[in-house]
Structure 1
Amino acid sequence: MSVQEMTVQEVAKKVLNNEILFVLDVRTEDAFEDWKIESESFTYLNVPYFDLLDGVEEIMDQLPSDQDILVACAKGGSSQMVTEMLEEAGVKNAYSLEGGMKAWSEHLEPVKVSDLDNGGELYQFVRIGKGCLSYMVVSDGEAAVIDATRMTDIYTDFANEKNAKITHVFDTHLHADHISGGKKLAEESGGTYWLPPKDASEVTYEYQPLQDGDHVTIGGTTIDINALYSPGHTIGSTSFVVDNRFLMSGDILFIDSIGRPDLAGKAEDWVMDLRETLYSRYKELSDELIVLPAHFMIMNELNEDGTVAEKLGVLFEKNHGLNIEDQDEFRKMVTENLPPQPNAYQEIRETNMGKISPDEEKQREMEVGPNRCAVR
């Protein structure tokens, strides 16, 4: 079947540039309502593929003639068929999403955050379809990766482009919403894999314990990745202060929300740890630190340059989760005001512990769906 296709890279550019696009999503209504390609400049029509088996005539009057139409499905097969039907009906501006929503879930968009002191660079990798954020610090021929996704080749290729060798790989915590590529990336690169020991009590592999106060220097310059113990999302959650300018907050603090404490079934136990981290440990830090979280919730959290970042002082002013004085009210919010838990989160946790080893296709299926690491 030869139809016009649009790649996830092309769609990501349209999202980041706020370009207009009409999305015809042919997945089931439940799948569409749960998770879709998000952009304030996109228009949507959800018609399940099975409703179109007899033809597309009934939806023709709902389709625009003056803008591109992106047909999206789960894996790319159904969207090709619908796109072919549209082309046969005379539609010239229809494109099938290559690889479907699974490919959209896996796309990473590297964005430069800043130059660092003494010649280094900091990059943010925006997993735009999943809301995940990972990072690379590059300095003097070495690189460190923080909160890597399972698509490790993207980091390896990017480091090669920068003539850098990945020497350190960090996870801020044991992830429950996506499969970490940290251990795999460290093995592939020969680098050291760091994990907070309090999150590693059940892991089956060797790792370097990441302790509060650890300093790991990347390259020959003074770029210290300072570890800051910050429990609450998990009992071992650890933040990083990079170059005394950037706070990598993991899943503890987001731009528009705060981390949820329940993904290990410990909401009541960890809620006050979360409060202590946000209201005491983070309060002691400089308001000028730029917060770089491990996730974003909605597209309007992205800045004009494509980064997800904001000063800590601004978040203390504007983030509702940082402005609840009453402890009981805070406890109620973070234990009762929670979205559904991430798809397959228990299996994802066990995979990240090394207890199970699902194949590539199973891993893709486990991760499909929206990011759900925040308190609403």
Structure 2
Amino acid sequence: MSTIITASQLAKKIINNEDLLVLDIRSQENFNNWKIEGVTVRHINEPYYSLVENLEKLDGRLEKDEEVVVVCAKGGTSSEITAKLEESGYTNVYNLEGGMKAWSEHLEPVKIGDLKDGGTLYQFVRLGKGCLSYFIESSGEAAIVDPVRMTETFIAFANDKHVTIKHLIDTHLHADHISGGRKLAEQTGGTYYLPPKDATEVTYEYEALEEGKDIYVGNTTVKVQPIYSPGHTIGSTSLIIDDQYLLTGDILFVKSIGRPDLAGKATDWVNDLRHTLYTRYKELSDDLVVLPAHFSFIEELNQDGSVYARLGDLFVTNSGLNVEDEEAFRKLVTENLPPQPNAYQDIRQTNMGKIYPELEKQREMESGPNRCAVEG
């Protein structure tokens, strides 16, 4: 039986920037498309079929006492290879339990800060997929923004904090991952919010997330202020939390900006995107802390594993906010974009409530990296 490492243990190693060697035994195509990333992570990609009878392929590439994490799709073949390596005298080998499937689903909670009138804001970092969710708690109540489908993690966190989940908020209709918002609302009795301009085809009831309709968490101490900010989708709505934090959804990231093409409306939404980024956000305080719904680059993580930046700083450092020529901006966000997310059309249909795929199908649909940014 192989020695295991869990996705949670692996996440902490990556956040702590520990030197890490990953032996990925998936096909080269799957490895090139999506891999475990970290600032200090090194990789060996050698497919299972070439190793199962010939571990000598690792000679000179892996020392007998070197720590290595073996990874496959679901943890089965990697367990076999880990055991073979241990039998061959490798002394520091670990099998990633559950493989890339488990890595994709792991959520790492990070405290962002205390709120002015009491309460705390947390970020849930999905390292394997690049998704970022937010948990706002105050006076025994909680709101969750852009929750992913692993709802049990949020419920367990709320129980641990002894708070009741009251509000579930999606900043827009997501196309790269399946939202957990409606499911959490059903599980907790909370209210699910969605921008109405993104909800024209949904099959379920929801509360409108609209500018001018503030949401309060706890004893009216934490105000969630919606700001209409179209461009990634026509309904995209940012949130200002406690006059300190700007939750930008998929409009603005730390190192890039949102793409406008995932609903097939790139040329229609370019002007909306530019107006949001170059006019609407310019009117806000430079001191707001930008908290996006995704990250594309491991370098966007701070030392504690969080992802955020001051808005004023992004107007200096983010290249997507510094394209003066409008035609050049149009080309940037409509041409030479990264590949679209895996199964993004089916994901949108799922988030509209039009299809209900089984869990394994949902996992398959979500496989692959985050691709909501113009550059990624």
Corresponding residue for residue 110 of structure 2: 111
What one-letter code is carried by the residue in structure 2 that aligns with 1:215?
Answer: D
**Partner of 1:42 in structure 2?**
41
Q: Would the aligned equivalents of 1:20 and 1:67 in 2 still touch at CA under 8 Å? A: no
Deviation at 1:66, TM superposition (A): 4.2
Q: 1:356 maps to which residue? A: 355
The answer to whether the 8 Å contact 1:21/1:67 transfers is no
TM-score, normalising length: structure 2: 0.99
What SS does the corresponding residue of 1:105 show, helix, strand or coil? helix
- Matched to 1:301, the amino acid is E
Does residue 223 of structure 1 match 2:200? no
Residue of structure 1 in register with 2:294 after alignment: 295
Corresponding position of 2:275: 276
Q: Name the residue aligned to 2:207.
A: 208
| Residues 219-258 of structure 1: pairs in structure 2 closer than 5 A | 219-258=218-257
Q: Deviations over 1:271-294 (max 9, x none)?
A: 110000000110000000000000
Quote how far apart the aligned CAs of 1:261 are: 0.2
Aligned residues: 375
One-letter code aligned to 1:327? E
- How far 1:55 sits from its partner (Å)? 2.6
- Distance in 2 (alpha carbons) for counterparts of 1:155 and 1:101: 21
Q: Is the 8 A contact 1:223 1:243 kept in 2?
A: yes
- Give how far 1:87 is off: 1.2
Q: Work out the CA distance in 2 between the residues paired with 1:264 and 1:245.
A: 31
Note the C-alpha offset of 1:57: 1.9
Residues 176-185 or 207-216, more deviating: 207-216
Distance 1:226 1:194 in 2: 13
Counterparts of 2:324 and 2:65, CA distance in 1? 52
Task: Quote how far apart the aligned CAs of 1:328 are.
Answer: 0.1
The residue correspondences of 1:116-195 to structure 2 (distance < 5 A) are 116-195=115-194
Matched-pair contact (CA < 8 Å) for 2:66–2:91: no
Task: Give TM-score, length-normalised by structure 1.
Answer: 0.99
1:10 is matched with which residue? Answer: 9
Q: Does the 8 A contact of 1:5 with 1:98 survive in 2? A: yes
Give the CA deviation at 1:244. 0.3
Structure 1 stretch displaced more, 296-305 or 346-355: 296-305
Q: Does 1:341 align with 2:337?
A: no
The two structures, once aligned, show a CA RMSD in angstroms of 0.8
| Equivalent residues of 2:118, 2:221 under 8 A apart | no
Matched AA of 1:182: G
Q: Does 1:79 align with 2:81?
A: no
Is the 1:55–1:85 Cα contact (8 Å) retained in structure 2?
A: no
After TM superposition, give the deviation of residue 305 of structure 1 in Å: 2.1
Give the Cα separation in 2 of the matches to 1:249 and 1:67. Answer: 42
- What secondary structure sits across from 2:117 in the alignment? helix
Q: Gapped runs of 5+ residues in structure 2?
A: none
The residue type paired with residue 140 of structure 1 is: S
- State the identity %: 61
SS of aligned partner of 1:286: coil
State the alpha-carbon separation in 1 of the partners of residues 37 and 280 from structure 2. Answer: 34
How far has the Cα of 1:300 moved from its partner? 1.1
C-alpha distance in structure 1 between counterparts of 2:83 and 2:64, whole Å: 16
C-alpha distance in structure 2 between counterparts of 1:16 and 1:124, whole Å: 14
**After superposition, what is the alpha-carbon deviation per residue over 1:45-88, rounded to whole angstroms, capped at 9, x for unaligned?**
00011111313122132113343110000011110111111112
What are the ranges of 5 or more consecutive residues in structure 1 without an aligned counterpart?
Answer: none
**Could you list the runs of 4 or more consecutive aligned residues of structure 1 that deviate by over 2 angstroms after TM superposition?**
64-67
Distance 2:61 2:210 in 1: 57
C-alpha distance in 1 between matches for 2:11 and 2:314:
27
Counterpart CA distance in 2 for 1:144 and 1:40 is: 32
Q: Is the 8 A contact 2:245 2:289 kept in 1?
A: yes
Q: Take 1:181 and 1:93, find their aligned partners in 2: how far apart are those partners? A: 38
